[in-house]
Amino acid sequence: MRYLLHAVFLFFGFAIVAQQQTISSKMTVAEIQKEAKSGHFQWIFPAGTTSESIDNLAKYYTTSFSYTFNAASKCVDVFPVVDSENTRRVMLRFLGANQVHQILVGNETLALYAFYEKFMKYDGQ
């Protein structure tokens, strides 16, 4: 019985990790810092990402941000309706809903909340 429980926990642990994904920033650190002042962000999603998968989740957040999706490059551009701390948190929620747990910026891989703290946190300027 003990081995069966271990097997079940391992299976679900691998299933959860397998669903998590890493995306990358299309912009450099300097570009992110510049664009973040207006709340604009760009991310490259994995090859299997479809416009339907992005649309199905983004439709819940249209009061906070607009977006474009380039199917060829898998690039998602997000623009705030009104830039604020809350809007940026909604963008973060959108990434989480897409099972994003890391963002590659240049050669550095940041956990989702580390990316938020470093680049997305609203400074009110």
Per-residue pLDDT tens over the stretch 2-18: 544 444 444 444 444 44
Q: Hey, which residues does 25 pair with through a beta bridge?
A: 43
**Structure-block tokens of residue 32:** 């992110």
In a domain, 72, yes or no: yes
Question: Please, which residues have CB within 8 angstroms of residue 74's CB and are 6 or more apart in sequence?
Answer: 44, 45, 46, 47, 49
In a domain, 49, yes or no: yes
Q: What is the pLDDT of residue 58?
A: 96
In a domain, 3, yes or no: no
In a domain, 113, yes or no: yes
Does the pLDDT at position 79 exceed 70? yes
Chain segment 100-125, per-residue pLDDT in tens: 999 999 999 999 999 999 999 987 65
In a domain, 44, yes or no: yes
In a domain, 7, yes or no: no
pTM for the whole structure: 0.81
In a domain, 104, yes or no: yes
How many domains does one find in the chain? 1
Domain, as residue range, for 68: 21-120
Does the pLDDT at position 65 exceed 60? yes
What is the average pLDDT score of the chain? 87
- Tokens 């957040």 belong to 61
In a domain, 108, yes or no: yes
Task: Assign 20 a pLDDT band (cuts: 50, 70, 90).
Answer: confident
